[in-house]
Amino acid sequence: MTLATYHRKRSFTATPEPRGWVGARRAKEPIFVVQEHHASHLHYDFRLEADGVLKSWAVPKGPAKSTRTKRLAVQVEDHPLAYATFHGKIPAGQYGAGTVKIWDHGTYENITTKDGKLVPLTRAIRNGHLEVVLHGTELRGGYALIRFKGKKDWLLVKMKKKS
Ligand code: MN
């Protein structure tokens, strides 16, 4: 895992966002966070802890709470774990300028399987298909992320099972 892209896009003398580093794998339940980001276009950043970073997707309409609604989720650069508690104002002229609020946070359980075996989250991301159970306040239950074209475009869907 690397935060090179995250670091390259930002000037840490100008933005209050954390510089951060790739963290150690933790024994605790992995975390997720959804940040409401009032940038040039309002979107929701959906982040899952994996291998010491936050794997991240920008969801223009935000995660749905209904199993009938699919939401576009564009994968973006990995963020540091410290970003999970970040909220505040990114100054004008900086990457992602605008206000960031924490919309939901909690822990998650990876339930992605292949041939009856659990698939580690980073491998599931490489494979383009992951399933997690979210234990948040706004978001609870099973969610799947499915890559549908190219490398960055995914669909975020609430699963009927595990809800
Ligand atoms: Mn964002």
User: Tokens for 127?
Assistant: 């494979």
At 6-32, the pLDDT tens digits run 999 999 999 999 999 898 767 789 999
Neighbours of 122 (CB within 10 A): 16
At 92-149, the pLDDT tens digits run 999 999 999 999 999 999 999 999 999 999 999 999 999 999 999 999 999 999 999 8
Annotate 88-110 with b (16+ C-beta within 10 A) or e (fewer): eebeeebebebebeebbbbebeb
Distance 161 CA to ligand 1 centre (A): 29
What is 24-53 written as a DSSP string? PP-SSPPEEEEEEEESSSEEEEEEEEETTE
Give the CA angle between residues 44, 22, 81 to the nearest 5°.
35
Distance 4 CA to ligand 1 centre (A): 17
pTM confidence score = 0.94
Distance 124 CA to ligand 1 centre (A): 23
Residue 163 has pLDDT above 70, yes or no: no
